[in-house]
Amino acid sequence: MIAKLRAFMATEVFKYLFFGVLATLVYMVSRILIFQLTNQGTLSAVLASAIAIIFAFFTNDMFVFNQEKTGMVTRFVKFVGARLLTLVLDLALAYFLVDTYPEIIGQFVGHSHAWVNGIESLFSQVLIIVLNYIISKFFVFTGEKV
């Protein structure tokens, strides 16, 4: 059993999820600290996102997909572009399922806007995690492994 657990922990998917959780923590800590310094919600969200994306890129590049150092700038541009693309998807889903057509989800939760937002957020994040992994694996980190 322990051997199977260790084998799973060595997989690319596990490492991706592990460093994804760390990137989320980096985002949360950064956002809180930046907000404490600036008292600006939007500014703290944008800066924390940038910090988390940079953290995620380097951990994915070095530890998840084990890329060679050559081509790092190209991978970084692709990575940021992919993250911006999935951000647009996130915003579109929130706009359509929470702001414009909340009854699609609301019919199942007594039309509670808070529940609609929570369910849409969960759905959106699962979809984005999967898409980010697929994009990273097949579009961004396609070079030789170290």
What is the tens place of the pLDDT at every residue in 38-97?
Answer: 999 899 999 999 999 999 999 999 999 999 999 999 999 999 999 999 999 999 999 999
Whether residues 22 and 83 fall in one domain:
no
Rounded distance between C-alpha atoms, residue 83 and residue 135, angstroms:
9
Domain that holds residue 58: 1-64
Q: Which domain-ending residue is among 64, 94, 119?
A: 64
- What is the spatial distance between Cα 64 and Cα 59, in angstroms, rounded to a whole number? 7
Q: Are residues 141 and 83 in the same domain?
A: yes
Same domain for 105 and 48? no
Average pLDDT, the chain: 95
- pLDDT tier, 128 (very low <50, low <70, confident <90, very high otherwise): very high
Write down which residue in 19, 42, 64 finishes a domain: 64
Torsion sign over Cα 48, 49, 53, 59: positive
Whether residues 105 and 145 fall in one domain: yes
Residue 24 has pLDDT above 90, yes or no: yes
Q: What is the pTM of this model?
A: 0.89
The tokens for 90 are 């996130």
Give the integer Cα–Cα distance in Å for 140 and 128.
Answer: 15
Counting every residue, how long is the chain?
A: 146
5 and 42 both lie in a single domain:
yes
